[in-house]
Amino acid sequence: MGLLSRKASCNSHGQDSSYFLGWQEYEKNPYHQLHNPKGIIQMGLAENQLSFDLLEAWLAKNPDAAECKRDGQFIFRELALFQDYHGLPAFKTALVDFMAEIRGNRVTFDPNHIVLTAGATSANETIMFCVAEQRDAFLLPTPYYPGFDRDLKWRTGAEILPIHCTSSNRFQITASAIEEAYRQAQKQKLRVKGILITNPSNPLGTTITRAALDLLINFISDKEIHLISDEIYSGTVFSSPGFVSIMEVLKDRNLEKTQVWERVHVVYSLSKDLGLPGFRVGAIYSNDPTVVAAATKMSSFGLVSSQTQYLLSVLLSDKKFRNYYIAKNQKRLQKRQRKLVSGLDKASIGCLESNAGLFCWVDMRHLLRSNTFEAEMELWERIVYDVKLNISPGSSCHCSEPGWFRRLKSFVNSKSHQELKSLRNGPHRIQKWISRLFQSFHDQR
Ligand SMILES: Cc1ncc(COP(=O)(O)O)c(C=O)c1O
């Protein structure tokens, strides 16, 4: 008999996927400008350190927020004892205002419908726990964030079935792809409880069109299932077409207060838009009071500390600052995206045109030895071990076409020397390596 439970020791964590293996390789040999200039550059972790200077400047001007003070008076004891799992009302109000603003105030959010969680990871697991039984299935458009295999399935016992999207229409969701995924679930005798989308998409860096959102609403109405929209990148949209939240579509179609309205849930977090994954601040927004009540009880397992809630309630209540931050961060993201795309272009590598997020979906199909996932892994190993860049292969995101890779836009503190160096190194290393690769193909012929 093993010491660990079957649940703890099974492989549902997904630790063996190339997504996590790349991290492990990076940790063994991390790049450092002085101590390890030939080390691996980390481009596989969706971190946004691009606007830390703005947050640091705000903290310097508003020291009370981090020092547990209100109007110069210590509120340490109040925060140390706070344990209401409904969360600090001031924080929930500031958070929903921020969420509305990111959506151009075209929709509003009620703070009583929000449940705070330790990041979007916990939000996604909690909502899944609330709406799915073991072996119930959720349909997810591919390619999708590799962490979902762990977050949605491991402890809940739920299943994920892919909605296969392809490069032929820029990986947009189609009615036939949804129908096909649903049929596959039925074939496997799985009950489909819902669809989960990421808008804007990780790894594509694109927003979902209104037409596709309409399709999804029609489908969940027809099948009487849930729709979870992970909108963790909603504040990162830097060019048109703009971001359309699923909540806007419901409102525009006058579906508020209907049964469909109650089956749509939004997941959010401050890990990407504010670049604070270490603070562990996430949320579920649901129109169904029973889901809100169940998720609130569940949230006891992953609460956000009162100190963090207090600090962020002050920060997000500063309307002028939050607007400035979001606009500036989006401009910086756009600048990075242009730089990366043109660097890759010089190396004859194309990308899916993107308008959001922290990454590019890079097309390296022409560099594969054959049109197979084995060839993709072979190429990925060469990129990690020879070029020393950790990027995520499309297969780790369940992409159905070999040869696509997710690459971060090199997000290190914009002021650091190391960033300038790795920024220069990223495309430069690729260019050098590609010419070597072409040379070796040529030599073999
Ligand atoms: C689509 C998506 N959802 C959830 C998460 C997890 O975010 P958090 O750090 O808030 O748990 C990530 C992180 O990369 C993500 O890309």
**Mean local confidence (pLDDT), 396-422:** 69
Last residue of a domain, one of 320, 349, 381: 320
- 196: CA distance to ligand 1 center in Å? 13
Residue closest to 304 by CA, chosen among 327, 341, 270, 266: 270
Ligand 1 geometric centre to CA of 269 (Å): 8
Please identify, by atom number, the ligand 1 atom nearest to the C-alpha of residue 277: 9
Question: Span 95-110, mean pLDDT?
Answer: 97
> In the chain, what percentage of residues exceed pLDDT 70?
90
Q: Is the peptide bond before 241 cis (omega within 30 degrees of 0)?
A: yes
pLDDT computed for residue 436 by the predictor: 62
Same domain (yes/no): 296, 385: no
Q: Are 198 and 358 in contact (CB under 8 A)?
A: no
The reply to whether 145 and 246 lie within a common domain is: yes
Average pLDDT, rounded, for the chain: 90
Domain membership of residue 404 (yes or no) is yes
Question: What distance in angstroms lies between residue 121's CA and the mean position of ligand 1's atoms?
Answer: 6
Q: How far is CA 178 from CA 16, 140, 264, in A?
A: 28, 9, 17
Residue 198 lies in a domain: yes
Q: Which residue has its alpha carbon closest to ligand 1 atom 13?
A: 46
pLDDT bin (cut points 50, 70, 90) of residue 8 is confident
Tens of pLDDT, residues 195-230: 999 999 999 999 999 999 999 999 999 999 999 999
Same-domain check for residues 83 and 213: yes
3-state secondary structure of 45: coil
Residue 177, ligand 1, Cβ within 6 A: no
What distance in angstroms lies between residue 239's CA and the mean position of ligand 1's atoms? 22
pLDDT band at 444 (very low <50, low <70, confident <90, very high): very low
Average pLDDT over residues 89-102: 97
**Given the CA of residue 282, which atom of ligand 1 is nearest to it?**
10
In a domain, 258, yes or no: yes
Residue 1 belongs to a domain: no
- Per-residue pLDDT band at 423 (split at 50, 70, 90): very low
d(CA 232, ligand 1 centre) in Å:
7
Closest ligand 1 atom to 144 CA: 1
Picking from 325, 305, 304, the residue whose alpha carbon sits closest to that of residue 316 is 325
- The CA distance from 368 to 434, in Å, is 12
Evaluate: CB of 143 within 6 angstroms of ligand 1.
Answer: no
In this structure, the answer to whether residues 83 and 114 fall within a common structural domain is: yes
Q: What is the pLDDT of residue 417?
A: 46
Cα-to-centroid distance, 307 and ligand 1 (Å): 22
Question: Are residue 336 and residue 215 in the same domain, yes or no?
Answer: no
CA distance 99 to 274: 12
Same domain, 215 and 307: yes
Q: Is the CB of 271 under 6 A from ligand 1?
A: yes
Same domain, 38 and 140: no
Do residues 188 and 313 share a domain? yes
* C-beta of 119 in contact with ligand 1 (< 6 A): yes
Q: What is the arithmetic mean of pLDDT over 114-127? A: 98
**CB 232 less than 6 A from any atom of ligand 1:** yes
Does one domain contain both 45 and 71? no
> Average pLDDT, stretch 106-135?
97
Virtual CA dihedral for 341, 346, 350, 356, nearest 10 degrees?
Answer: 0
Distance CA 54, CA 145 (A): 28
- 8 Å CB contact between 230 and 197: yes
Q: Which amino acid is at 73?
A: Q
DSSP per position, 65-93 = HHTTEETTEE-HHHHHH---TT--HHHHH
Closest CA to 179 of 218, 206, 226: 218
φ, ψ of residue 375 to 5 degrees: the values are -65, -35
Same domain, 175 and 224: yes
- The amino acid present at 35, given as its one-letter code, is H
* 177 contacts: CB under 8 Å, gap ≥ 6: 141, 163, 164, 165
246 three-state secondary structure:
helix
What is the number of alpha carbons within 13 Å of residue 362 lying toward its C-beta?
Answer: 29
Instruction: Write the DSSP symbol of residue 420.
Output: H
Residue that terminates a domain, selected from 320, 345, 374: 320
Provide the 3-class DSSP secondary structure of residue 103: coil
Q: How far is CA 109 from the centre of its chain?
A: 21
CB of 127 shorter than 6 A to ligand 1: no
* pLDDT tens digit sequence for 264-322: 999 999 999 999 999 999 999 999 999 999 999 999 999 999 999 999 999 999 999 99
Q: Is the CB of 287 under 6 A from ligand 1?
A: no
Total domains, the chain: 2
Measured from the CB, is residue 202 less than 6 Å from ligand 1? yes
Q: Whose CA is nearest to atom 3 of ligand 1?
A: 120
With a 6 A CB cut-off, is 282 part of the ligand 1 pocket?
Answer: yes
Pair 92, 44 in one domain: no
- E strands, 103-183, are 114-117, 136-141, 159-163
Full domain range(s) for residue 404 = 6-53+328-444
- Residue 286 CA: distances (Å) to CA of 126, 198, 361, 381, 418: 12, 16, 31, 42, 42
Q: What is the best residue among 272, 312, 361 to mutate for testing ligand 1's pocket, by most ligand atoms within 8 Å of CB?
A: 272
416 pLDDT tier (thresholds 50, 70, 90): very low
Active-site positions? 145, 230, 232, 272
Q: Tens digits of per-residue pLDDT, 144-171?
A: 999 999 999 999 999 999 999 999 999 9
Query: d(Cα 384, Cα 32) in Å, to the nearest integer?
Result: 16
Do the strands 404-408 and 359-363 form a parallel or antiparallel pair, or are they unpaired? antiparallel
Distance from Cα 27 to the centre of ligand 1, integer Å: 20
Work out the angle between the directed axes of helices 319-346 and 417-444 (0-180°, nearest 10): 30
Boundary (domain end) residue, out of 320, 342, 367: 320
**CATH code for position 238:** 3.40.640.10
Domain co-membership, 127 together with 182: yes
Residue 58, domain member (yes or no)? no
- Give me the mean pLDDT over the 17-36 stretch: 83
